[in-house]
Amino acid sequence: MLNAIKLTCTRDERTLFSELSFSVSAGEMVQVAGQNGAGKTSLLRILAGLSQAEEGDVHWQGKTLRRSRDIYHQDLLWLGHQPGIKTVLTAFENLSFFHGDCAAAQRWQALAGAGLVGFEDVPVSQLSAGQQRRVALARLWLSKAKLWILDEPFTALDVVGIEKLTQQMMRHTREGGMVILTTHQPLALSCVRQIVLQDAQS
Ligand SMILES: Nc1ncnc2c1ncn2[C@@H]1O[C@H](COP(=O)(O)OP(=O)(O)OP(=O)(O)O)[C@@H](O)[C@H]1O
């Protein structure tokens, strides 16, 4: 279980959120919602251990991230705003780089799952924005991480890509995984719990 405990985040002397507490349990999908600039990415980065809250703490399986760092890194898959893939490599080579422990057949399957059949051997720099996003998301087909933290994963995806990703997130939570995401897309899923960050200025 992930516990956010009384998190306070301040940027440029503006408090984005204060004393924010919530938990995410196995099998849950949570959408962090709010207007542009409300602090969604800031919150996700804190949850992923990439930045620090001014106050409060994040616990994974009952321990602070500091104390559970190694296990947390194994259990977490973070996909940020940027695709975070290597543009000089092909789609297949990217999956080999990030998931060399998976069999080649699994990597091909992951690319097929993400809708990249026919583009496996093209350098990523020559793919469209949506295809590049699909390469990053193909990692979700291979990852054994329990917790996925996804910042705007639907960006640049077409309708088919959105559907594939939605199905993949649902499969993950059905199997006991956890998903925390931000998106400005309406999510037509009854199983998603929302955490809404109010704009401190409004
Ligand atoms: N490293 C930083 N230094 C200074 N200010 C920052 C930093 N990161 C974010 N901010 C500010 O914090 C506020 C919240 O940014 P954040 O990216 O968390 O918002 P968001 O809710 O994800 O927005 P969007 O929906 O536009 O992606 C913004 O006003 C931003 O300028």
Ligand 1 midpoint to CA 36 (Å): 8
pTM to 2 decimal places = 0.93
- Closest-lying ligand 1 atom to the alpha carbon of residue 152: 27
Q: What is the pLDDT of residues 116-161, one digit of tens each?
A: 999 999 999 999 999 999 999 999 999 999 999 999 999 999 999 9
For residue 199, the model assigns a pLDDT of 65
Q: What is the pLDDT of residues 18-37, one digit of tens each?
A: 999 999 999 999 999 999 99
- Kindly report the protein residue whose alpha carbon is nearest to atom 3 of ligand 1: 11
7, 35, 42, 155: residue to mutate for ligand 1 pocket, most atoms within 8 A of CB:
42
Shortest CA distance to 165 belongs to which of 195, 146, 185? 185
Write the CA distances from 179 to 22, 93, 145, integer angstroms: 14, 26, 10
40, 185, 199: residue to mutate for ligand 1 pocket, most atoms within 8 A of CB:
40
Question: CA–CA separation, 8 vs 20, rounded Å?
Answer: 7
Does the pLDDT at position 196 exceed 60?
A: yes
Whether 45 is in the pocket of ligand 1, judged by its Cβ within 6 Å, is no
- Closest-lying ligand 1 atom to the alpha carbon of residue 197: 21
Question: Average of pLDDT values for 176-192?
Answer: 90
Question: CA–CA separation, 40 vs 34, rounded Å?
Answer: 7
- Kindly report the protein residue whose alpha carbon is nearest to atom 1 of ligand 1: 11
For residue 188, the model assigns a pLDDT of 76
Please enumerate, as own/partner, the contacts of 73-76 that have beta carbons within 8 Å and a separation of 24 or more.
74/145, 75/145, 75/146, 75/147, 76/48, 76/49, 76/145, 76/146, 76/147, 76/148, 76/149
Q: Which residue stretches of 77-199 are H helix?
A: 91-98, 104-113, 129-138, 159-174
